[in-house]
Structure 1
């Protein structure tokens, strides 16, 4: 028997979503760094004292670990990364002698990270709205995956079935047509 959750009105859902976004934003703002991501990379910015040079910082990027901060002080970031990164494509720089910028290239392309370090607050990746970019800039497989994700997100927002749910419904219809002798009137599908 499938669990049935009570339906909530779109207005109540909008309020709940706004509250969740505000809580998430407050948690992210409290982190000692700022970060943003695309499907293929993560960029982290850490404010450092004016005049900071490369020799003044410690940055250790490993496939699934990151340590970053000022030499002789507790690291600003230290822990396990959300997912593995490509070491050869991950870098760091000091910008204007006041900002440590770390660029991490995701090992698995086309995925959203919930957080940078696993012990930090997570974001709701289903609410990510990617920056405007041309789908034509993406390779075929990535483009198809992004288009499917966008379609499924729109479908969910409208309360309609996702592509997988549509596929299951289509398979069920075909099965029912091939087996008209079977009674599906009391069947429950989740």
Structure 2
């Protein structure tokens, strides 16, 4: 028996899954029956209601009210499924279909400029600290401690700082 080959292709981000199903030319949205549930999907042409374009249990739950479908250029049925769990890659859309190797997914690099100021600052600090660690140099926190100690030394020249262990500050 031959392996089941899905009639669709899909791509995804951590937030959503886009499913594309080719249709015969000149297919309009009114010719398609679609049912989306929080963990199910089905679509068929009204002319062949028992020949599903896609049908089954989804890999994981979706937010139905945030998910959409449309017929694009009268040639493709496209679903945009909004994931509930935004921390995982789906190995397949419908659980009965073959799985892909999610370890090979390489997400698009996001730009630091796309991040809010607080998150960007945190990411830049982490990147700086990683470079410092690779070079065997002190992290940003260690540098800050050293600067504070140097200021304190300058303010109190009468104190002996010769026995200060920077690792225990």
TM-score tier after normalising by the smaller chain length: 0.5 to 0.7
The structure 2 residue matched to 1:50, chosen from 14, 25, 39, is 25
* TM-score (normalised: structure 2): 0.62
Instruction: Determine if the alignment matches structure 1 residue 63 to structure 2 residue 44.
Output: no
Report which of the two structures shows the higher radius of gyration computed on alpha carbons. Answer: 2
Instruction: Determine if the alignment matches structure 1 residue 40 to structure 2 residue 18.
Output: no
Higher helix share: 1
Partner SS state of residue 39, structure 1: coil
Give per-residue Cα distances to partners, 1:113-157, cap 9 Å, x unaligned.
1110001011111111112332553575xx98xx9xxxxxxxxxx
TM superposition outliers: structure 1 runs of 4+ over 6 Å: none
User: Residues 1-190 of structure 1: matches in 2 within 5 Å?
Assistant: 30-73=5-48, 74-134=51-111, 137=114, 140=119
Give per-residue Cα distances to partners, 1:60-96, cap 9 Å, x unaligned.
1110000012113211111000000001110001111
What is the distance in 1 between the residues matched to 2:112 and 2:71? 32
Say how many residue pairs are matched. 117
Taking only aligned residues, the RMSD between alpha carbons, in angstroms, comes to 2.6
Unaligned runs of 5+ in 2: 127-169
Match in the other structure for 1:165: none
Structure 1 residues 72, 138: CA separation in 2 closer, same or farther (over 3 Å shift)?
Answer: farther
